[in-house]
Structure 1
Amino acid sequence: MDEPAQQFETHRSHLRAVAYRMLGSSAEADDAVQEAWLRMSRSDTDDVANLRGWLTTVVARIALDMLRSRAARREDPLETRLPDPVVTAVDGVDPEHTALLADSVGLALLVVLETLSPTERLVFVLHDMFAVPFDEIARIVDRTPAAAKQLASRARRRVRGRNPAAEPDLARQREVVAAFLAASRGGSLDALLAVLAPDVVLRVDTGAGLLVLHGAATVAGQALTFGRFAPAARHALVNGAAGVVNVVDGRAVSVMAMTVHDGRVVEIDILADPARLSRLTLLQ
């Protein structure tokens, strides 16, 4: 491996972490990182004092263009799909996923980031997640540093307003998820209502569209229909939080991420798109 390639590889995990937070897609994050490598290989970086910073800017610009292209293709600017989950074993985080999961970037947060404008998302991700100075961010988005700060503040308010504070104790999260599964297996509506927050939100992405349901009674009713999959549920970490992978005949049919707050489930995000599941690295 030549020296430029070696230099790039030392920053690959960081760049993929930036791209994943920007795009919410594992495949698109890989594409953005590969494009960053191509641009570096065509550039003279001998005089670049901070290669990590230079590459971060490059991958951020690429991801911003991808977000803008994605937004232009959508008829509905609101969220139309769930982000790709990062699934790991319950007994520890796969080293390859460590950078992706740094700062506890839960699936619920990524869902909220999907509702930001491309520019707001870039500013929020770079500044609030990677501490990139506003002076540098301003050059990427062609704004003044003051305008970049305003974008970050606006994005931060939207994130705080919609992103529930998750239970920090992983063991407690697992207890609540286990109670949810037990209630689903047992077909107990009362038990489900006891573990669901009154204003719980359920999102299900089947690939044909995003189903969004609100309220404990509605979500509990839907959970009872999922009960047939409960015996196939395998506990897992989904973006670092307690979650479930449902496996039937050796094939993952869904990934379920749960956000637990104050002992109850406040959000459930289920990816059940066969095409996307087949492309993800899941538990075997």
Structure 2
Amino acid sequence: MTTTADEFENHRPRLFGLAYRMLGSAQEAEDAVQDAYLRFSSTERASITHPGAWLAKVVTNLCLSRLTSARARREVYVGEWLPEPVLTSDGTLGPLESAEQRESVSLAMLVLLERLTPTERAVFVLREAFGYGHREIAEALELTEANCRQLYRRAVRRVGEPGSRFEAEPERRRKLVESFIAAAREGDVTTLEKTLAADVTWTGDGGGKVSAARRPIEGRDRVSRFLVGTRQTFLAGVEFSAVEINGDTGMAAWSGDTLLSVVAFEVREGVIVHARAVLNPEKLDFVRRQLARA
């Protein structure tokens, strides 16, 4: 006999993927999914005709409530704010078989989604990442279908057409990142610069917890000097490895058993155009646990 817990577990991965895209935080997504379970387990089963749709509606609305307070916290965040990275090679965020699916969970996209109002974000995520029709979205958000269409069009204008920023050659991107890691490990400035676009940007998120650049660093020369200087000053004995982060090849930096940073790379036309480095230890807890199990 299928228990309530068993039934919920069948939906958990999809619900976590939804909450993570909505919130940009793995830990908050876990909390939202757990709250949804508590509501599910305390609701008369006969009143839930379609559990998947019911749970998606609950999670979406729980996330909408969280987004308001989350944005208030981000306004006083120390330095640049980045989403929490998630290891995706273990299927945590579901199948990522296309460039569009990978882009939907990239740090680049999650940063862009911060431009949207909470409701615009919900409409965009449900439509693009989960294939909901406008009628289904309207039912989930208790809006009119016409309003949902308008919100979706507005969201697309703000973040761009889906699939427009993600190169479709994963093997090429992986080799590029591996070249970057090798050059960073050796302090090879010449090779390092070859992996970077002329207008590359490096964004670090230390959250005031650890040392990190408070503002984005722009330009190939400045980024190269920053990376080499950081290696010489802070990274003696640090190990770098390639990992699949948010749907693409990224980099993890370790000092012994301590995860120091995870870097996600945005690649375009064969070079790195933006690197987003998460150093805030509080934001690395989820991915650290994932990597420990890998």
Interval of TM-score (by shorter of Structure 1 and Structure 2): 0.7 to 0.9
Match in the other structure for 1:234 = 241
Does the C-alpha gap of structure 1 residues 140 and 214 become closer, same or farther in structure 2, counting only changes over 3 Å? farther
5+ residue gaps in structure 2? Answer: none
Q: Secondary structure at the match of 1:135?
A: helix
Q: How does 1:158-169 map to 2 (within 5 A)?
A: 158-160=158-160, 165-169=165-169
Q: Deviations over 1:33-86 (max 9, x none)?
A: 111111122222314332101110110000111002222444369x95211111
Does the C-alpha gap of structure 1 residues 142 and 212 become closer, same or farther in structure 2, counting only changes over 3 Å? farther
Does the C-alpha gap of structure 1 residues 226 and 67 become closer, same or farther in structure 2, counting only changes over 3 Å? same
* Alpha-carbon contact 1:123-1:152 (below 8 Å) kept: yes
1:260 corresponds to 2:264: no
Does the C-alpha gap of structure 1 residues 74 and 250 become closer, same or farther in structure 2, counting only changes over 3 Å? closer
* Alpha-carbon contact 1:17-1:100 (below 8 Å) kept: no
Match in the other structure for 1:283 = 291
Distance (whole Å) between structure 2 residues aligned to residue 148 and residue 191 of structure 1: 48
Moved more, 48-57 or 143-152: 143-152
Normalising by structure 2, what TM-score?
Answer: 0.84
RMSD over aligned Cα, in angstroms? 2.7
Distance (whole Å) between structure 2 residues aligned to residue 44 and residue 66 of structure 1: 26
Return the offset for 1:173: 1.0
Distance (whole Å) between structure 2 residues aligned to residue 76 and residue 150 of structure 1: 31
Return the offset for 1:162: 10
Distance (whole Å) between structure 1 residues aligned to residue 69 and residue 129 of structure 2: 23
Does the C-alpha gap of structure 1 residues 35 and 180 become closer, same or farther in structure 2, counting only changes over 3 Å? same
5+ residue gaps in structure 1? Answer: none
Match in the other structure for 2:82 = 82
* Alpha-carbon contact 2:80-2:207 (below 8 Å) kept: no
Q: Which amino acid aligns with 2:53?
A: G
Size of the alignment, in residue pairs?
A: 278
Q: Which amino acid aligns with 2:39?
A: R
Which of 75, 91, 94 matches 2:90? 94
Q: Deviations over 1:183-231 (max 9, x none)?
A: 3344344433322112222210012285322222322222222334486
Normalising by structure 1, what TM-score?
Answer: 0.87
Distance (whole Å) between structure 2 residues aligned to residue 249 and residue 50 of structure 1: 48
* Overall identity of the aligned pairs, in %: 37
Moved more, 238-247 or 182-191: 182-191
